[in-house]
Structure 1
């Protein structure tokens, strides 16, 4: 069985895909998955589900939700529930099950190891496979509590780093034209990320589109000035100058 949290929350068991319609129970499962194999206190779970508006019988209601969640996760071939009661709360034990974020992390580690060893093609494939696990905004409707919201911020940063590494590996392999449209889409998604502007300028330059590369720099400068009141970073300025003078170091290896 695989739990998927890199998008809307769902559970995949062989060919079946199921999700929870009751929001409070869905928040409960999300919080337990975010801290899989760790005890989450009843107090923290109550805060995650109700925030500052917890009812008087919140702990009793939590017990009911846990019972309903156990029923949802029950499988014919299992004798024990993955949700275990602890002294101060509950823990979801993954056991042989998968969590998509853990698989993603493993692929990123694999990609980094391959890149350090000079196996760029293998690294590029690992990063790309990892990014395929992202199905949309992470737990988009369940971010009211500190547990889920904290995880989302961390996960999105991990995805961003993976995207940058994926593009760097692709450019190293000479896939410049292939990544141009991909990078335009990433800038549309995250217009304040200077790394994507830098990578797009390099991809365009190496594709023979020098004027377009210079236009990307001007776009970055305008966005950063308007949104943050800042000039582009020194790295982006250096790349802009290198493009202007046709610096030989910009050529692909």
Structure 2
């Protein structure tokens, strides 16, 4: 089976796929998937379902939801159910299964390694493959307690880092013109992430759009001052000065 969490929670078994409409059952499965191959304590699952206000019979309710998840995962052809009962809670065994977020982590790590080796074309393919695993926001609109919220934050940040690494690789390959539209979108969606402003400024400068590059800096400065009362970071200020003076170090050949 394949468990997918880089988008709404979905389970794929061969040609069949299914989602869960019952929110509490979905929460239980999501928590077990993101903590796969580790025991998730019963009290942790109760917190994921009911936060700080569990009902009086929360443990009995949890048993019902776990039983429903176990039925869902009891697929034809499997010799054993992957949802195991442990002394303190439950464990989702994924020895014979795949999970999209683990494939994503492996692809990102491989892409970063290729970048360090200056194998940029291969790195682009790897990082783009990692991003193609995403179908939408992590777990869709499902939210829960510390397990799910922490996972959503972690994966969302890693995706932004992957996009940043991909943009760096495009810049090293001289594909700056292809980047401009994508970086404008990233800046609008993440207005406090200064790395994207820097990449957009450099892509514009290398596309002979110096004035627009400087305008992006002013937009970044205005946003940061308005939201945080801060000047742009030193790296962004240095880049602005280098663009203003047409520093030869910004040229692609010099950067290579």
TM over 0.5: yes
- Give the TM-score, by structure 2 length: 0.96
**Residue 89 of structure 1, CA deviation:** 0.3
Alignment size in residue pairs: 253
**Residue 142 of structure 1, CA deviation:** 2.3
2-structure distance, mates of 1:211, 1:12: 50
**Residue 7 of structure 1, CA deviation:** 1.3
1-structure distance, mates of 2:122, 2:75: 37
Contact kept in structure 1, 2:108 and 2:130, CA below 8 Å: yes
Question: What is the match of residue 130 of structure 2?
Answer: 130
**Residue 199 of structure 1, CA deviation:** 0.2
What SS does structure 2 have at the residue aligned with 1:141?
coil
1-structure distance, mates of 2:176, 2:55: 57
2-structure distance, mates of 1:63, 1:50: 14
Question: What is the match of residue 214 of structure 1?
Answer: 214
* Unaligned segments of structure 2, at least 5 residues: none
* Unaligned segments of structure 1, at least 5 residues: none
What SS does structure 1 have at the residue aligned with 2:17?
strand
2-structure distance, mates of 1:52, 1:145: 9
1:16-36 per-position Cα deviation (integer Å, ceiling 9, x unaligned)? 321000000000001001100
Question: What is the match of residue 181 of structure 2?
Answer: 181
Contact kept in structure 1, 2:36 and 2:94, CA below 8 Å: yes
Matches within 5 A, 1:2-81: 2-81=2-81
- Give the TM-score, by structure 1 length: 0.97
Q: How much is the aligned-residue C-alpha RMSD, in angstroms?
A: 1.0
**Residue 153 of structure 1, CA deviation:** 1.1
**Residue 144 of structure 1, CA deviation:** 2.8
1:59-103 per-position Cα deviation (integer Å, ceiling 9, x unaligned)? 111111111111111211102111000000000011121111100
1-structure distance, mates of 2:164, 2:190: 12
1-structure distance, mates of 2:242, 2:16: 53
Contact kept in structure 1, 2:104 and 2:131, CA below 8 Å: yes
2-structure distance, mates of 1:34, 1:7: 13
